[in-house]
Amino acid sequence: MKLRKFLLFAPTALLLTPFFLAPLFVIGAESFSGKQGAFGEYVKVVTDPGIRTVLYNTFYVALMVTFFSLLIGYPIAYVLARLKGRWATIGIFLIFLPFWASTVIRSFAWMILLGRNGPVNSAMVGSGLIDEPIRFIDNGVGLMIAMTYIMVPFMVVPILNGLRAIDVNLPRAAAVLGANPWRQFLAVTLPLSMPSIAVGATIVFVTSLGFFVTPSLLGGNRTVVSILISEQANRLLNWPLASALAIVVLLLTIVVFALLRLSQVMSRRRGSARAGALA
């Protein structure tokens, strides 16, 4: 049995070792090779106000993108979960349709749409909603709009799978007990879909931390950590600081996954305790 498990994990281990673990080891070793000592670059990451601002911008943007992706993605997943047959296929096709274009093309498209003389500003000025064009680009607003658009499918898919896994008899049982549709959603559907929400939010949040193309085109003065790493490594040739930043982001990502895992374990324990109490 142990040999069989080892053989099942062997392809994954062989793939991760040269393409993830080995580069990670090199980056980790490089982060300790700075002129300020072994931990000098890490101290700089923590104490430098400019770097702290970049980290704050990165996590703020990732958090807001996650929030808006959930706000938009959950209703879409809820509707898709109730579609059947051809309409369900069409709905899922439309969700994955944006992936036919690269992130670069979609980011440039948003630059055109949200530009000062773009269709969005032109439509609002022409309709009389605003007197002067709104500045969407270079202030973080356009960045969040574009990133949310890109990340919504990553939120929809896990939530859709979670909603489809819910037994349809449970909301019906709640209706029989007198719950209206809104009460059925709050008492049955939403709690049971929380694990899938957590998965989708984690995927969107962690992916947003490493975005590079869209912040480069639409971020303006709102620098994120991926751009800072690129500048330190390619323009300033400060590989120790760039490596330290990459390791810090990796550690923070691991913390996010650990918190997700902890919340799942605690949720299961609470569910088991409730089931035992009812028994």
Residues in the chain, pLDDT under 70: 1-9, 13, 16, 267, 270-279
Encode pLDDT of 208-255 as tens digits.
Answer: 888 888 888 887 777 788 888 888 888 888 888 888 888 888 888 888
Q: Break the chain into its structural domains and give their ranges.
A: 49-266
Sign of CA dihedral 253, 259, 262, 264: negative
Find out whether 239 and 188 touch, Cβ atoms under 8 Å.
no
Q: Residue 12: which residues within 8 A CB-CB, separation 6 or more?
A: none
pLDDT, position 16: 67
pLDDT, position 66: 93
Decide which of 3.20.20.80, 3.40.50.300, 1.10.3720.10, 3.40.50.800 is the CATH code for 49-266. Answer: 1.10.3720.10
Task: Quote the pTM value.
Answer: 0.82
pLDDT, position 18: 72
Q: How many other CB atoms are found less than 10 A from the CB of residue 152?
A: 23
pLDDT, position 77: 92
Q: Residue 94: which residues within 8 A CB-CB, separation 6 or more?
A: none
**Nearest-angstrom CA–CA distance, 216 and 230:** 11
pLDDT, position 158: 92
pLDDT, position 274: 55
pLDDT, position 278: 43
pLDDT, position 76: 93
* Structural tokens at position 14: 């062989």
pLDDT, position 273: 58
pLDDT, position 156: 93
pLDDT, position 72: 94
